């Protein structure tokens, strides 16, 4: 593969903790597809990894709970005819998933307070607009 796949900062996916499986792909390739194992299944044991900081690991386990099977995250790739390109795609997808899952939660939104002057001006303008519209009615013109 083309170098280590960075999750975020200096944290990278260790090649020793990645499990690869190859099988025949149903994707593009014509007759070639029947003879080569180009589909890639990449497995990463998230529960047992030592590569991630403990906080990130807990966060990822919680956020990816629906995708995990016994603590193992699996990514499949069969987009390309080449096994090599499918390996690259799977590794990039895995790194992206882990980066998203380990990201810190967003800062809590602080509700903004509308200044009293602005609210009073808005109500005053609404009243003026209503008076203008009321003045357009034909009542009182005898």
pLDDT tens column, 93-116: 998 888 888 888 889 999 999 999
Predicted TM-score (pTM) of this structure: 0.67
Provide the CATH number for the domain around residue 35. Answer: 3.30.160.20
Q: pLDDT tens-digit profile of 54-97?
A: 888 888 888 888 888 888 888 988 888 788 898 899 999 998 88
Q: Is 131 part of any domain? A: no
Lookup: tokens for 32: 């070639």
Q: Is 113 part of any domain? A: no
Q: Is 47 part of any domain? A: yes
Q: Is 87 part of any domain? A: yes
Q: Is 120 part of any domain? A: no
Cβ-based burial of 36 (10 A; exposed 0-12, middle 13-18, buried ≥19): middle
What is the number of structural domains in the chain? 1
Q: Is 132 part of any domain? A: no
Residue 29 confidence class, pLDDT cut points 50, 70, 90: low
- Average pLDDT value for residue range 16-22: 83
Q: What beta strand segments (E) does 1-142 contain?
A: 6-8, 11-12, 18-23, 39-45, 68-69, 72-77
Share of the chain above pLDDT 70, in %: 87
Q: Which residues, including other chains, have CB under 8 Å from residue 59's CB and lie 6 or more apart?
A: 101, 102
CB burial of 44-80 (b: ≥16 within 10 Å; e: otherwise) equals: bebeebebbeeebbebbbebbeeebeeeebebbbbbb
Q: Is 134 part of any domain? A: no
What is the span of the domain harbouring residue 50? 5-102
Q: Is 111 part of any domain? A: no
Lookup: tokens for 42: 């990449």
SS3 36: coil
Phi, psi of 122 (to 5 degrees): -60, -45
The reported pLDDT for the residue numbered 52 is 83
């Amino acid at each position: 593969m083309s170098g280590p796949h960075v999750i975020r900062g200096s944290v990278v996916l260790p090649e020793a903790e990645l499990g690869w499986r190859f099988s025949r792909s149903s994707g593009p390739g014509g007759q070639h597809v029947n003879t080569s194992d180009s589909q890639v299944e990449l497995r990463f044991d998230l529960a047992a990894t030592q590569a991630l900081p403990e906080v990130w690991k807990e966060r990822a386990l919680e956020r990816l709970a629906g995708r995990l099977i016994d603590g193992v995250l699996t990514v499949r790739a069969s987009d390309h005819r080449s096994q090599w390109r499918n390996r690259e795609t799977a590794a990039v997808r895995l790194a992206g998933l882990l980066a998203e899952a380990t990201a810190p939660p967003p800062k809590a939104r602080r509700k903004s307070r509308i200044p009293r002057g602005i609210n009073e001006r808005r109500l005053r303008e609404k009243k003026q607009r209503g008076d203008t519209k009321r003045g357009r009615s034909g009542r009182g013109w005898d």
